[in-house]
Amino acid sequence: MNTRNSTSVADFILTGLTDSAETQLVLSVLFLLIYLITVLGNSGMILIIRLDPQLHTPMYFFLTHLSFLDLSYSSVFTPKTLHNLLTSTKSISFLGCFIQINLLTLLCSTECFLLSSMAYDRYVAICCPLHYPVIMSTRLCRALVTGSYMLGFINSTVNAVCMSRLHFCQSNAIQHFFCDTSPILALSCNDTYEIEIIIFAFAGSTLVLSLITISGSYLSILSTILKINSTAGKKKAFSTCASHLLGVTIFYSTMIFTYLKPKESYSLGRDQVASVFYTIVIPMLNPLIYSLRNKEVKRAALRVLRKRVSSKHLISQ
């Protein structure tokens, strides 16, 4: 970042979600509870998948990385939000602010491509079941995950370069509870049209490309399910992708609502509600969605617990 940027504004003030002390206390308790559930849920999901050999399949390999991204999401934003709600200090350093923005871009972009990879995995499982072990090889799964992180990093780098060109010479109060692209652009005192176009193009390309992959996969899945004669067969086929489809719907609806719009349509109230949802709530929901609707995960959790209890019992003897 250039010298003009770093010297014009030393830090930013996050105005937060509300000025009411009572509401801040209620939100802090609620967010802390959500964060604890998020950490336990995603860490537990990763641990169960790692410890149970029966879950060492492509779908759960992707799910491990999804849990890691959700855990990272929540850890980037929730602790700082809790600190701001519980103290009178609402500031965040210039560097810290731009780290938040670029981590958000990295994690969000990576999750888009990871969800696309998971959709392709479901497509192969339902439409090409006999060739599934061959197509979804360990090599391909690792390549898809690595590619997701690399594309997310590229998107984040472009975003960092664009945001580093902004000048802040007047107010340093961000109308949000964390550093996000829209309120930062609204705060800048220079013309942001070109920067908005670039950011919009890359964000839009990420969403559109991943949505095309997911939509194409699920159209093929739907076509295959409709060709199944038995009701039980249709139900079983649909159940294998229901959790992923629900997670995709929740994630993409908030992403599209928040980011695929120009700066002029930015609304503090609406965007803050959507931001709370995808930065704090969704990371908690994903492990619940994938575990509560998945009998394999439940059985694996019981197996891991039984092994732990048996090992402790043997040690005590």
Question: Which residues in 45-70 are b (16+ Cβ under 10 Å) and which e?
Answer: bbebbeebeebebbbbbbbbbbbbbb
Exposed, middle or buried: residue 206 (CB in 10 Å: 0-12, 13-18, 19+)?
Answer: buried
Report yes or no: 79 and 28 within 8 Å, Cβ to Cβ: no
Q: Where are the extended beta strands (E) located within 32-137?
A: 91-93
pLDDT of amino acid 7: 43
Domains, the chain, in order of start with CATH, read 11-316 (1.20.1070.10)
pLDDT of amino acid 317: 55
Report yes or no: 156 and 105 within 8 Å, Cβ to Cβ: yes
- Kindly state the DSSP code that residue 206 receives in the 8-state scheme: H
Give me the tens of pLDDT residue by residue for the chain, a chain 317 residues long: 443 444 456 788 888 777 788 888 999 999 999 999 999 999 988 988 888 888 888 999 999 999 999 999 889 989 988 988 888 778 888 888 889 999 999 999 999 999 999 999 999 999 998 999 999 999 999 999 999 999 999 999 999 898 888 888 777 888 788 888 878 888 888 788 888 888 888 888 888 899 999 999 999 999 988 888 888 777 877 877 888 888 888 888 887 777 665 555 555 566 677 778 878 888 888 888 887 656 667 677 677 666 665 555 555 55
Q: Which two tokens stand for residue 194?
A: 């070109």
- Phi, psi values for residue 167, rounded to 5°: -115, 135
- Phi, psi values for residue 59, rounded to 5°: -60, -45
Question: Which residues in 128-166 are b (16+ Cβ under 10 Å) and which e?
Answer: eeeeeeeebeeebbeebbeebbebbeebbebbbebbeeb
pLDDT of amino acid 3: 39
First CA to last CA distance, the chain: 62
Q: How far apart are CA 251 and CA 245, in angstroms?
A: 10
pTM for this structure? 0.86
Report yes or no: 98 and 160 within 8 Å, Cβ to Cβ: yes
Q: How far apart are CA 19 and CA 190, in angstroms?
A: 29
pLDDT of amino acid 186: 80
